[in-house]
Amino acid sequence: SASIWGSCLDSLETNERAKVLSFVFKKDQERSLLSILLQKYVILKRFGCTDFTIKRTRENKPYVCPSVSADVGTWNFNASHHGDFVAIVSHDSFLVGLDIVDISTRCNWVANFAEFLEIYRKQLTTDEVKTILSFHSENDRYTHFFVLWALKEAYVKAVGCGIGIDLTKIHFDVTYCTRCTDDDPHNTFSGTAVMTVSSYRRNDWRFDFWSLDATHVIAVSRGPLAEALDTYIESAW
């Protein structure tokens, strides 16, 4: 209702409210609002205080800044929202990141998947492109592309390195634990992935992904704290 919407907006900081209202469409405003409220709830449950500010590094990784002397330690979190879903992940002992993608996304200015792939080819490794093209149907190719994209985003968001990273140096070998069939209306699947960075296999990172519904996939990353950027460590910890 309008009263609940207004109350939720009033509970936000000025900059948070401005961020929510910067979106043109109401659905986007609602997702942004829910994301901020979810972050605040998780921080409240974790630290038991209400006097805190959510800030971001210059690379846009979020962190909590308590106004009181609460010990944040190495706790970190990440949030994502897309479609009907808003999600958050947090941990004390590992860097964490997540991303939600809509695998039904299509570009109306391309005629087929081959043209779509050309747009993003520079963000993928040669072997990732080969794996995508090994799927027979266009829908499966789109699905695998978006799984890879979500995994890359989950890693980038965990480390907090922003858009400056060369994604072609990050390669994912994907294993589907469950895979949908053509007659599955729910498009259900899940899996894991192993990351290779600059030809070095990173077994100290864990990646999981699964479908949330017929069109949305979530990917979650977990890795060593030592890989956080200095800008994040200096600001958050």
DSSP alpha helix (H) spans, the chain? 2-10, 14-21, 26-47, 113-120, 126-134, 138-159, 230-236
pTM score of the predicted model = 0.92
Please determine, for residue 131, whether its predicted confidence score (pLDDT) is greater than 90.
yes
pLDDT in tens, 23-35: 999 999 999 999 9
Contacts of 132 (CB under 8 A, 6+ apart): 117, 124, 141, 144, 145, 148
In the numeric block, the tokens 């109401």 are attached to: 26
pLDDT at residue 84 in the model: 87
- Compute CA distances 14 → 17, 18, 93, 142, 150, whole Å: 5, 6, 32, 39, 31
Residue 183: which pLDDT band, with cuts at 50, 70 and 90?
low
Picking from 103-107, 152-156, 177-181, which range would have the lowest pLDDT averaged per residue?
Answer: 177-181
Residue 184: which pLDDT band, with cuts at 50, 70 and 90?
low
